[in-house]
Structure 1
Amino acid sequence: MSVAEIAHGVVDGEGRLVEADDALLGLVMRAGGGLGQLLAVPQLATLARLARRLAVPIARGVIVADRDADIELFVRAQIDGATVRLSVAGWTERQPWRPAGERARFDLFVADAEWRWECDAALRLGAVSIEAGARHGFDAVGLLGRPITDLFGFEPDGNERLPILEALAERRPFSMQPAKLRPSGAPVLVSALARRDAAGEFAGFTGGVRSIDLPESGTAPSVAVTLGDRLERALRRPLGQIIANADSIGAEGEGALSTDYAGYAADIASAGRHLMALIDDLADLEAVERPDFMPMIEPIDLADVARRAAGLLSVRAANAGVTITRPPSDRHVPVRGDFRRVLQILVNLVGNAVRYSPSGSSVVVSVDEQGRATVADTGRGIAPGDQARVFEKFERVDVTEPGGSGLGLYIARRLARAMGGDIAVESTPGQGARFTLSLPPDPPR
């Protein structure tokens, strides 16, 4: 819209947007909101609340983040009976602050992405998020060097076009490319920047991925999906921007900083990543506590899943000076379960073992013919009185220990039991802990 145009909206007494012109509604929807929902643009919501509290018209300029740009607006909020009427003018786009360097620009470009990938000019994968592999049930390392189409099944957008093909032809960025993950069929949106080599030639894409929660045909979205969607849109993007900016400041890309300020930036980024992990845990919590939650049960090889989980944590373990021993490659244990969820459980168990293991020690991942996978460490162990507590919601044995939300083991046990299995712990303080996942065996056919 031009700067001369004004968009109007109405906010009810509960802070929900009940009417909006197209331009204002579009801005709100891109922020994760919509009609009938709480006003999702914080600056506008604040002015509406202020006008209501003071019972006088409020008018001021604000700057709103809108995807990859900032929008300068002039907003007037005025009480009208039980509602607040908004008049929004200006609509001047300006590029937000960008730290120097292509990598830093990419961090902001896909700040709202859940995970990342990279490919070369021939569209061969050169990097795939290991955490995404654990979450969606694919081997991130095994995909390296393979065509990008082994990971994504690209689909036409609403205009019956494939944005990635147009971007490839023109050597430019693309966004909101619909796709499905090949390993799981999960629907996603893919965006990317075009990479350049030292000569300025096209060198591939560096991109980010967001999941799409789709309700079944003919049904309304469930409460859990709506909440998860709000968490994703309302929290993940601003947290991603905070983390990216803090990392850029800490890297001193714009010049040298004092040691104190660089440390503050690192603390901010670390706290942001902790909150991002909490969002993931809360989304999983909503899923497993739904009455209709049902994992996809199928024959799987527990030994193979255990090897994959150990492989996904190998870099983290190496950085901590911990060795992971995994089941041998010729070992196979057929069980019944949801591959992605079993991998999620074992990544959680192995990750905890690595976290609490001292440098120079080992974590042993083993399986047996009874359909059990055991993760054993030599850390400080768990006192008998705390062994039941570790599986309770939001419980942490040592609240002073950094990281963790107190949800991982609770979610893991809920998942295991939903698949007809369970998780048990054996531990002696000072001698480590053994967590065992058991699943129903897959009978021979």
Structure 2
Amino acid sequence: MRARTDGADHLVAADEPLAGFQIRAGGAVPGAIVMPALLSLVRRVRRTGQSASRAIQSVDEGRSVAAWALVTPEGDGTAIELSQWHQSEEAAAETPVSEALLRHLAEAEILLDDAQRVIAANVRAGDLAGLAAALEAGRGRYWTEFVRIERVSDLMTTRQGPLHWRLLDDAPFSVLGSPRSWRARIIPRVQGGFTLLAVPETAETLPEPTPKPTPAPDAATNAGASEPGWSRLLGRELAPALRQPITRIIANAETIRTRLAGPLAEEYAGYARDIADAGRHLMSLIEDLADLEAVEAPGFAPAPDRIDLADCARRAAGILSVRAQERGITLRTPGETAHVPAIGEFRRVLQVLLNLVTNAIRYSPEGSVVRLETGEDARGAWIAVQDEGQGLDAEQAERVFNKFERLGRSGDGGSGLGLYISRHLAQAMGGDLVVTSAPGEGARFELTLPPDRGA
């Protein structure tokens, strides 16, 4: 199907079923694009003047919708071609936060068929230009022929094609012509086939970190002295080893739950759902522990980027929009014309915001509003998340950033590490994370970062 947009990124013409989706979602033709992933792609193409393609996903009347979008510049606007449009017969499931974040971090997105053969690719990284050309010329071949898979390459044969996708998910790989290391994240698509995300493995420390004060000798007990070694073992050694088997457990449980492997009694489908949920919870704990090790490592320093806090706010709200809708909570973000330039590592800032907004949704009453506000003052650039929950008293506000602190809550699935890690990340980026609150008046968490004076 085809569609066109104007210089204001409004959809001025569209074939079915995109036109029908636009209207059912509350939009119009002509009118503003209501599909966030498509709108983001259109804006990028119009801004850069270069064609781009990617897999897009959304929800249409409670059902998952997916397609492959190719957008090219055309006059003041763009021309859109959508292929492989598919609507799931099952109710849409919320996109995991980790998956949505991976899509933002990925520098190449490759569409694969059921056998993991290349259908199309959208490569954004300059050092993957050779890979982009090879993929374009090699459509229909296995994606593993274009990269070097580390550690499992000896198990692969070109005659049989690649390993099962669950064995390759999160596998490290290298690309000829790129000095960086990469990881393959493979996501099954609702209409069959896969989306392969190439995510760079970035360094967690700078070559010359700022020295940190050494604790006094009597400040550490024997238990405390042994804690860093245990933390390093858990985050650096065990976390990578555990991710793959847990991912397989989740994927197998979902295969059983959705009855892709054959008919199954509802009772056992429920068991499979519980297994998948438990696996996701365990995976989130592992990710928290890996982040804990990173932020507590000597010399930890995120890589500074030039970012826009207003854009980060809109992205975080987009990722968590389904979760908010499920509880009838409205997420209000800065307008499209709002821009607050700052210096900070994009993925770490987004990680902090996702944690803050997730907490706000979790502890706010149904039907309330969560506001994401941005600005700049004498302290620097800032972004705040304000909820309408029960709020915190002075003693709780003092404790909320402590490690493993959950303020007496139980059964909510949290590790008590999110705010502790978020504050460490904020401070490592030259800013801070603070809270202002009062009982019955909600809580306001504010992240400050150095402003980007050169923007």
Normalization by structure 1: what TM-score? 0.58
- Superposed CA RMSD in Å reads 4.7
Deviation at 1:209, TM superposition (A): 5.1
Distance 1:400 1:216, change over 3 A: closer
* Structure 2: segments with no counterpart, 5+ residues: 1-65, 72-80, 86-94, 112-119, 150-172, 208-227
Cα distance in 1 between the residues matched to 2:388 and 2:205: 46
Distance 1:196 1:364, change over 3 A: closer
Q: Determine if the alignment matches structure 1 residue 292 to structure 2 residue 266.
A: no
Q: Determine if the alignment matches structure 1 residue 207 to structure 2 residue 217.
A: no
- 1:375 is matched with 385
- 2:184 is matched with 190
Structure 2 residue matching 1:148: 3-state secondary structure: strand
Q: Determine if the alignment matches structure 1 residue 277 to structure 2 residue 277.
A: no
Distance 1:335 1:125, change over 3 A: farther
| Alpha carbons 1:119, 1:206 under 8 Å: kept | no
Deviation at 1:412, TM superposition (A): 0.5
- 2:101 is matched with 134
- 2:339 is matched with 332
| Alpha carbons 2:432, 2:449 under 8 Å: kept | yes
Determine which structure has more spread, i.e. the larger CA radius of gyration.
1
- 2:435 is matched with 425
- 1:263 is matched with 270
Choose which of 426, 429, 446 in structure 2 pairs with 1:436. Answer: 446
Structure 2 residue matching 1:263: 3-state secondary structure: helix
Q: Determine if the alignment matches structure 1 residue 351 to structure 2 residue 358.
A: yes
- 1:320 is matched with 327
Distance 1:424 1:380, change over 3 A: same
- 2:139 is matched with 168
Choose which of 394, 400, 408 in structure 1 pairs with 2:410. Answer: 400
Deviation at 1:193, TM superposition (A): 9.7
Distance 1:441 1:276, change over 3 A: same
Cα distance in 2 between the residues matched to 1:234 and 1:373: 36
Distance 1:148 1:178, change over 3 A: farther
- Identical-pair percentage: 42
Structure 2 residue matching 1:369: 3-state secondary structure: strand
- 1:79 is matched with none
Q: Determine if the alignment matches structure 1 residue 412 to structure 2 residue 422.
A: yes
Cα distance in 2 between the residues matched to 1:331 and 1:196: 35
* Map 1:69-88 → 2, pairs under 5 A: none
Distance 1:384 1:420, change over 3 A: same
Deviation at 1:317, TM superposition (A): 1.7
Q: Tell me how many residue pairs correspond in the alignment.
A: 314
Structure 1 residue matching 2:286: 3-state secondary structure: helix
* Map 1:380-391 → 2, pairs under 5 A: 380-391=390-401
* Structure 1: segments with no counterpart, 5+ residues: 1-116, 198-202
Render the CA deviation track for 1:206-247: whole Å, top value 9, x for unaligned: 3355664779999xxx98887645334421111011111211
Normalization by structure 2: what TM-score? 0.57
Choose which of 310, 315, 340 in structure 2 pairs with 1:308. Answer: 315
Q: Determine if the alignment matches structure 1 residue 149 to structure 2 residue 123.
A: yes
Deviation at 1:301, TM superposition (A): 2.4
Deviation at 1:149, TM superposition (A): 0.9
Render the CA deviation track for 1:153-185: whole Å, top value 9, x for unaligned: 54889xxx99857863436766735359x9xx9
Deviation at 1:421, TM superposition (A): 1.4
